[in-house]
Amino acid sequence: MIKLAHYLKHYKKQIIIGPMFKLLEAIFELIVPLVMASIIDVGIKHNDIDYIIKMGGLMVLLGFMGLIFALICQYNASIASQGVGTILRNDLFKHIQSLTFPELDQIGTNSLITRITNDVNQIQLAVAMLIRLVIRAPFLVIGSIIMAMVLDLKLSSIFIIVAPIVSVILYYVMSRSIPFYKIRQSKVDKISLVTRENLEGSRVIRAFYKQKHEINRFEAANQEVTDIVIRVGKLSAILNPATFAVLNIAIIAIIWFGSKRVDMGILAQGQIIAFVNYITQISLALVVVANLVVIFTKASASAARINEIFNTRPSFDEGNGISFDSFSQNEPKISLKDVSFSYDGSKEYSLNNISFDIYSGQTIGIIGGTGSGKSTLINLLPRFYEATKGEVFIDGKCVKDYTFQQIRRKFGLVPQKAVLFKGTISENLRWGKEDATNQEIERAVELAQAADFVNSKPEKYDTMIEQGGKNLSGGQKQRLTIARALVGNPDILILDDSSSALDYATDAALRKAIKTNITDSTVIIVSQRANCIKHADNIIVLEEGHIAGIGTHEQLFETCNTYKEICLSQLSSEEVHK
Ligand SMILES: Nc1ncnc2c1ncn2[C@@H]1O[C@H](COP(=O)(O)OP(=O)(O)OP(=O)(O)O)[C@@H](O)[C@H]1O
């Protein structure tokens, strides 16, 4: 938690003012029993109504002032805690954006979401409590003991005995419950995982009638958190009865020994009431201390989870950048030299010794069965992942030399899964190029075969797309993601199995439009359908992470068995030779 302490530096004023006013409130609280004692010992004893009213008024004033001071403290605590939470969330989000795919894969989306929400909330709460209670509660305990000593040193020895006993009870309960708070956060991650999977896959769950199964899964995850909380609850349940038992015995002792001292004329009756008040304040303050320990324990578990993200560094850094005049026209646009790749934690290579050259303006098809490594190969080009062995060159320069912005700007990527964001159609399309003109957008939409459906919408390009594009069909989403990639007129256009939701005629029209209109770009079409890639200038056939063949459709049909089998299983003999 110490590592996150620097976030408090923006709120120095609140951190000083808040506890200061809380301290003033606590001082007033310590004075109240004395006023009460004097009302009894002077006002009531001598039947002095004026004195009782005067001192009663003083008590109301002390209470009112205490309330004002508490509000000032609360105000400052809210500003500081909300502020720290906001800055921390922003920094965490910024840091997550800087990470590369291997770390994101490893930590997992759900855990990231829990950390940026739930864990930051725990820190926020701890900051608020730090300002409001960290000074006040111990001050009240120590202050009450001192005030009692001032009243009667001998009788106050009861306090000296009681405070350590209560502290031992607190320590026992806390030290046993602290480990559970750490486990609890990881269980919350699991709830988040199940919830997310359920919400994202709700259609599939209903289609397979798996609601009952999923409810059970959720209940199990939820039960794990409940079990932990109940275990902590059982431990904490000891706290109040044990503390109050000790305190009640102390009150009996105060009254027992105090009454003797009243008989001896050493103490007045009102002072005994003040003693009882102080011991009650001690008990309440100690319970607050216990809650503080719980809050800080939770916060420290959360801080560790947040720091884990901050300490995670990208597994590879961007390059220093390439000056554009250093590009040579004669180099291949894309060149892979003996590239192998394995995902973190995987013992097997997903790609093995891949080498090929692609030249500017070429259309390349990549085909292979599921899991053959097509998407993995594509992900290495814009450096989403780093080749485990070998090198990837774009425009004759190693991808490691480019800045991330430079390399990503070269690509227009249409991912396998169409992802759109909440906003209008035109806002989504401008992701491809922020300052795209309306003509550029309309051209891209036309090429992506999306013009008919966009123009059929009453609000055309201003039509709102809901979160994740859920108000569009699969094919409509795919066409918009294709248009988005085309808007920027990219150097290299990658279509990663991105026409799977298009009907045959639309797919054919799309390929034709790209071939005739996108002549400057290098186009890579990844597909499992031979029809989509057979007219490419060159086709790369992948099989279990190896290159099974490279060549034109005709060459591969003659020389590559894997390709021939794919074609024969998908195409009629007329289509094979067309
Ligand atoms: N994030 C990941 N972590 C670990 N292994 C992965 C990951 N992504 C893919 N793989 C593995 O890498 C191999 C290649 O997967 P890839 O997604 O590249 O195949 P693909 O040819 O694109 O398949 P498909 O056509 O089904 O999309 C597979 O064995 C897969 O299990």
**CA–CA distance, 248 with 303 (Å, rounded to integer):** 38
Map residue 315 onto helix, strand or coil: coil
Tokens of 144: 């009450």
Residue 343 alpha carbon to ligand 1 centre in Å: 9
Provide the β-strand partners of residue 335: 357, 393
Residue of minimum CA distance from atom 25 in ligand 1: 370
Q: What is the residue with the minimal CA distance to atom 19 of ligand 1?
A: 371
| All domains in the chain, ordered by first residue | 2-189+225-311 (1.20.1560.10)
pLDDT digits 0-9 by tens, 393-405: 998 889 898 888 8
Please give the distance, rounded to the nearest whole angstrom, from the Cα atom of residue 240 to the centre of ligand 1. 55
List the residue whose alpha carbon is closest to atom 12 of ligand 1.
350
164-168, 214-218, 413-417, 572-576: least confident range: 572-576
pLDDT per position as a tens digit, 261-305: 888 888 888 888 888 888 888 878 877 887 887 788 788 888 888
* Ligand 1 geometric centre to CA of 370 (Å): 8
Residue whose Cα lies nearest atom 24 of ligand 1: it is: 370
413-436 pLDDT tens trace: 888 888 888 888 888 888 877 888
Task: Give the pLDDT score at 325.
Answer: 59
Per-residue pLDDT tens digits for 462-505: 888 887 777 888 888 888 999 998 888 888 999 888 777 677 77
Q: What pLDDT, in 10s, does the model give residues 23-37?
A: 898 888 888 888 888
Atom of ligand 1 nearest to the CA of 346: 4
The gap between the terminal CA atoms of the chain, to the nearest Å, is: 68
- Look at residue 326 and tell me whether its pLDDT is greater than 60: no
Q: Span 350-357, mean pLDDT?
A: 92
List residues near ligand 1 (CB under 6 A). 105, 343, 346, 350, 368, 370-376, 416, 528
Mutational test site, ligand 1, from 374, 384, 546, max ligand atoms within 8 Å of CB = 374
pLDDT over 70 at 390, yes or no:
yes
C-alpha 442: how far from chain center = 37
Which residue owns the Cα nearest ligand 1 atom 6? 343
CA of residue 372 to ligand 1 center, whole Å = 7
Cα separations in angstroms, 6 against 1, 125, 238, 266: 10, 16, 37, 53
Which comes out higher in pLDDT, residue 188 or 340? 340
Three-state DSSP class for 501?
A: coil
Q: Which of 105, 343, 526 to mutate to test the pocket of ligand 1 (most atoms within 8 A of CB)?
A: 343
Helix (H) or strand (E) holding 358: strand 351-358
Q: Is the alpha carbon torsion for 114, 117, 118, 122 positive or negative?
A: positive
Looking at ligand 1, which atom is closest to the CA of residue 376? 18
* Ligand 1 center to 375 CA (angstroms): 7
| Average pLDDT taken over every residue of the chain | 86
pLDDT higher than 60, residue 327? no
Nearest CA to ligand 1 atom 26: 370
Output the residue whose Cα is nearest ligand 1's atom 9: 376
Q: How confident is the model at residue 1 (pLDDT cuts 50, 70, 90)?
A: low
Mean pLDDT, residues 213-236: 87
Distance 369 CA to ligand 1 centre (A): 11
